[in-house]
Amino acid sequence: MIELNGVKTAFWPERVRIMDVGPRDGLQNEPYQLATSQKLALIEGLVNAGVRWIEATSFVHPKAVPQMADAAEVSAGLPRGNGVIYYALIPNEKGYDRALAAGIDHVGLVISVTETMNRKNINLSVAESLAIAEKVIGRAKADGVKVRVYASVAFVCAFEGRVDPARTIELTDKLMAMGCDQVCIADSVGRAHPGQVAGLLGALREKHGTERLAAHFHNTYGMAIANTLTAMQQGVSFFDASIGGLGGCPFSPGATGNTPTEDLVHLFHQMGVETGIDLEKLCDISDMVKDFSGSLPPSAYYRATRVKKAS
Ligand code: COA
Ligand code: ZN
């Protein structure tokens, strides 16, 4: 509960946790390929800016996502001993084995709510993915590994269209019952609107509370910030974002990048919600991304503050 201009807002947290997924969700869809050393420089910059949760890479088939072929090398080079939690995305048990062998202790298993997307993305039915989730969650408890599961295309699917919230709720219920550490409700295609977000996250809050929920928005239609704010008003306090707004989803045609981390941090700081992140240092990282990529990051805050305007 926080008070702003004398108004108490029931579900606003005083502080939020932000995971920068740029090194994975961001880079996997960019046309250029960064060297492992460049990825590690990006990650080190995020750490120095105060980011405490970073999705560093994914253990998927290198043919499916060539940008993530150096997952083991990235994992080996991560700056450690700084309290930062590094996640890696996995699609299946082989991904879990590879992540564990690489020293990763926080994994993000991806499952799409719709059959078409799950098949296109990871070539499994939703039921097969749930069976894998159960095994991975069981193994992870014994291995001391934390598991988040992405409920991908939670609102809209590029192939099946609008997703009935009952389907996302059913998937989340099953994952929560399995003892999943966190379920990340993901608008992977960036087509959700705040009405959907309020409805779904409100329903999930009533059933499960918000401690084990996270939200992940893409900005395809410019709604990521509005959706984040709406999720926050429903009590969610863990958000994914990507530095500069990098990214998209190679398996969802037309999807663009995640919520830009700078824009999210700017929003929260303006509202008096703590993030622990230094906004100007974040923009320095976006400068680096701009140099690596040769293109201007989409983040509105970055463009407003770092791009010199002709006067
Ligand atoms: N990492 C590396 N290799 C993997 C793997 C993983 N996580 N999972 C399976 N493989 C290998 C198998 O060992 C097998 O290798 P082989 O041909 O040398 O025997 C081969 O891939 C085929 O195995 P199969 O289980 O039939 O996989 P598939 O061809 O059905 O592909 C995925 C499934 C999940 C591996 C592939 O679709 C994928 O990597 N998708 C990732 C998509 C992604 O990253 N999306 C963006 C994030 S949401
Ligand atoms: Zn995403």
* Dihedral of alpha carbons 26, 56, 46, 155, sign: positive
Q: What is the CATH number of domain 15-310?
A: 3.20.20.70
Residue bearing the CA closest to ligand 1, atom 29: 123
- Beta-carbon contacts of 1 under 8 Å, excluding residues fewer than 6 positions away, are 8, 9, 10, 12, 14
Please report which confidence band the pLDDT of residue 310 belongs to, taking 50, 70 and 90 as the band edges. low
Please report which confidence band the pLDDT of residue 219 belongs to, taking 50, 70 and 90 as the band edges. very high
* DSSP tag of 307: S
In terms of Cα–Cα distance, which of 137, 74, 141 is closest to 111?
A: 137
Q: Which percentage of the chain shows pLDDT scores above 90?
A: 86
Ligand 2 centroid vs 304 CA: distance in angstroms?
A: 24
Q: Which atom of ligand 1 is nearest to the CA of 121?
A: 42
* 278-289 confidence digits (pLDDT tens): 999 999 999 999
For residues 82-108, average pLDDT: 98
For residues 218-236, average pLDDT: 95
- Tokens representing 272 are 């008096």
Q: Which atom of ligand 1 is nearest to the CA of 152?
A: 48
Question: What confidence score (pLDDT) does residue 251 get?
Answer: 65
- Beta-carbon contacts of 15 under 8 Å, excluding residues fewer than 6 positions away, are 237, 273, 274, 275, 276
Please report which confidence band the pLDDT of residue 80 belongs to, taking 50, 70 and 90 as the band edges. very high
What residues are annotated to the active site? 249
Q: Give the count of alpha carbons within 13 A of 127, CB side only.
A: 0
Provide residues with CB under 6 Å of ligand 1.
28, 58-61, 64-65, 89, 91-92, 94-95, 98, 110, 121-123, 251
Ligand 1 centroid vs 109 CA: distance in angstroms?
A: 13
For residues 111-126, average pLDDT: 98
Question: What confidence score (pLDDT) does residue 218 get?
Answer: 95
- Tokens representing 120 are 């296109």
* Dihedral of alpha carbons 106, 112, 115, 117, sign: negative
Residue bearing the CA closest to ligand 1, atom 2: 61
Which H/E stretch holds residue 107? strand 106-112
Q: What is the largest CA-CA distance in the chain?
A: 61
Ligand showing the shortest atom-to-Cα distance for residue 108? 1
Please report which confidence band the pLDDT of residue 216 belongs to, taking 50, 70 and 90 as the band edges. very high
Q: Which residues pair with 183 in a beta bridge?
A: 149, 213
Question: What confidence score (pLDDT) does residue 2 get?
Answer: 54
* 146-162 confidence digits (pLDDT tens): 999 999 999 999 999 99
Ligand 1 centroid vs 87 CA: distance in angstroms?
A: 19
- Tokens representing 111 are 């499952």
Question: What confidence score (pLDDT) does residue 228 get?
Answer: 97
Q: Which atom of ligand 1 is nearest to the CA of 124?
A: 30
Please report which confidence band the pLDDT of residue 29 belongs to, taking 50, 70 and 90 as the band edges. confident
Instruction: From 55, 59, 60, 216, give the residue whose CB has the most ligand 1 atoms within 8 Å, as the site to mutate.
Output: 60
Ligand 1 centroid vs 60 CA: distance in angstroms?
A: 6
Question: What confidence score (pLDDT) does residue 1 get?
Answer: 52
The structure's pTM equals: 0.95
* 44-75 confidence digits (pLDDT tens): 999 999 999 999 999 999 999 999 999 999 99
